[in-house]
Structure 1
């Protein structure tokens, strides 16, 4: 049987920003961002109905349709079904600068999962989805529904050959551990829980994935922006809010060590995020082609072993964390 994750590359492109996350971008810039990722060798692309109420799926699918389908891997997510919103308005309350043409309805039922996937295929304009992820169950009114109903629905579709791989995408460590230990998931998208600043996934989630052969898609590796800055300051965001003084001080200390070894903070963040053996891809969001090109260059650049040794010695990195070799 063909490995559904065979095309997944060490760097993946997340499409939240293509859904006008925080700010609107035009169609030309959206297309150029995806094409730059392709030119830089990215062959794994992630999206979701949630991103701009379908806008990211439409934009991503439009560009990917120009390339041979068998040469890349695509994931989208289920759990939020989009329904028409006659009231209109803006989707800014959900973080996306786009018209609220639809509203989200939580639905992890078998019917909801199938409808979500069918709708995603229509928006994408593609013939199949390689990886389906249950999206943010912890934010729903009934988080256990993802395990109770959503996972069995995805497993049935996988058994039928409709899907290649299934899993969950969340920042909730408890749910990630439950999926890693209680299900036959193929992948986990770990969001913001395995970064230079946050390594709690090392306690249980990543060991369980390594033991069971579950591959990790490591997302939000900049912790929503802080680690993407070469010189982090008080205006930076951490976990989608203003950075606190203690976190900023720790980040600056890490950046100072990086600088002593001729490495930028973003380069170190990307290198570290992909170093664990369970990680199949580091997934970054981007809304400009230059950001993609920069990330591709950084993740390909070597980092000196002494950098990681000094971070451990300074108490800035867990000593049990795998580092690039």
Structure 2
């Protein structure tokens, strides 16, 4: 039986990302424990669905996500999948605290602490640790992880170290991943990055990236990976549930009302809000992939179905006409090509 094929989009370096990427934070026990069996089943289901892009980070479960992802990918043809990880949060051993729980959102022992470090040595040490945990001799994409308060070091020594690694062929593409768009736009305009991961700022209800990141990315031939497309859960269900969250806090009433209006428009077409949330970012010419956190095989199946959903053009047009969805997201997809020379 032939393996399923999922549409891919190339970065300017030639690395190709499937439209759906598996975000592996949950494999690091984000918010609650996930078993080894659940983690492996999620990766297996993603592979069976045609997903070939997998994103992780040392931050996710103090290395647990990387270890589980590496174990689940072991034995698969290395040239058939893309792995991205992140640097900037060094893991410093704290065995004296191993009996305590981690205090940064992951249900793991506090056997390490995270230390901000975007220096050249910090980047190289971090990547070396990631390769060891993943059991790989290379990763394809490396992002600077949440450098919001560290622009000066991240944009100089941090990017410089990643450029060095890219030039040496140790990694294929480099970039930054953040929950904001303004600084990502600076990275695109002022440094030699290939791809950025933007979490929550280009979604059905938050189009902040339209003002800065997206035009810069198109101009410079840099790709965008869209993450957190459900905005902390507000867009994860056909209708917002009581107490629905947006951007890690309770969603304001006007935003909840807007999502209900989007649902009202979409329902006659047989399309749900999560379907729209999954497909929306991919309509922009700069966006190469949507990364979704997936804890179980069932989550993977649902996500793959949403990414594959054929949303009628008439629905997008109606949402645009009613001012419910940013028109910027409705352009035909022509992914960036070619390395910028400026």
TM range (shorter): over 0.9
Superimposed CA distance per residue, residues 77-96 of structure 1 (whole angstroms, 9 cap, x where no aligned partner): 00001011122244442111
Deviation at 1:290, TM superposition (A): 0.6
1:268 to 276, 281, 287: 276
2:184 to 158, 166, 176: 176
Deviation at 1:3, TM superposition (A): 7.0
Deviation at 1:5, TM superposition (A): 4.8
Superimposed CA distance per residue, residues 48-75 of structure 1 (whole angstroms, 9 cap, x where no aligned partner): 0000100100000101112111101110
8 Å contact from structure 1 (residues 43, 71) kept in 2 = yes
* Range with greater deviation from structure 2 (76-85 or 220-229): 220-229
Deviation at 1:101, TM superposition (A): 1.4
2:123 to 113, 132, 139: 113
2:249 to 241, 254, 259: 241
Normalised by the length of structure 1, the TM-score is 0.95
User: What corresponds to 2:20 in structure 1?
Assistant: 11
8 Å contact from structure 1 (residues 254, 316) kept in 2 = yes
In the aligned structure 1, how far is the partner of 2:332 from the partner of 2:220? Answer: 22
User: What corresponds to 2:44 in structure 1?
Assistant: 35
Residue 326 of structure 2 corresponds to residue 322 of structure 1: no
8 Å contact from structure 2 (residues 174, 195) kept in 1 = yes
| SS of residue matched to 1:111 | helix
1:185 to 169, 183, 193: 193
1:64 to 73, 84, 87: 73
| SS of residue matched to 1:194 | coil
CA distance change for structure 1 residues 73 and 206 in 2, over 3 Å: closer, same or farther? same
User: What corresponds to 1:97 in structure 2?
Assistant: 107
Normalised by the length of structure 2, the TM-score is 0.91
Deviation at 1:144, TM superposition (A): 2.3
CA distance change for structure 1 residues 290 and 5 in 2, over 3 Å: closer, same or farther? farther
In the aligned structure 1, how far is the partner of 2:329 from the partner of 2:301? Answer: 27
User: What corresponds to 1:135 in structure 2?
Assistant: 145
Give the aligned CA root-mean-square deviation in angstroms: 1.6
In the aligned structure 1, how far is the partner of 2:55 from the partner of 2:45? Answer: 15
Superimposed CA distance per residue, residues 239-273 of structure 1 (whole angstroms, 9 cap, x where no aligned partner): 11221212111111112211122101111111112
User: What corresponds to 1:54 in structure 2?
Assistant: 63
Superimposed CA distance per residue, residues 135-175 of structure 1 (whole angstroms, 9 cap, x where no aligned partner): 0001x4x3321112201111111111111100000022221
In the aligned structure 1, how far is the partner of 2:166 from the partner of 2:43? Answer: 28
Aligned length: 322
Deviation at 1:183, TM superposition (A): 1.0
8 Å contact from structure 1 (residues 10, 281) kept in 2 = yes
In the aligned structure 1, how far is the partner of 2:331 from the partner of 2:261? Answer: 18
User: What corresponds to 2:212 in structure 1?
Assistant: 204
8 Å contact from structure 2 (residues 22, 293) kept in 1 = yes
User: What corresponds to 2:4 in structure 1?
Assistant: none
8 Å contact from structure 2 (residues 87, 126) kept in 1 = yes
Deviation at 1:4, TM superposition (A): 5.3
* Range with greater deviation from structure 2 (81-90 or 264-273): 81-90
Uncovered stretches (5+) of structure 1, i.e. residues with no partner: none
User: What corresponds to 1:250 in structure 2?
Assistant: 258
| SS of residue matched to 1:95 | coil
| SS of residue matched to 1:227 | coil
In the aligned structure 1, how far is the partner of 2:278 from the partner of 2:28? Answer: 23
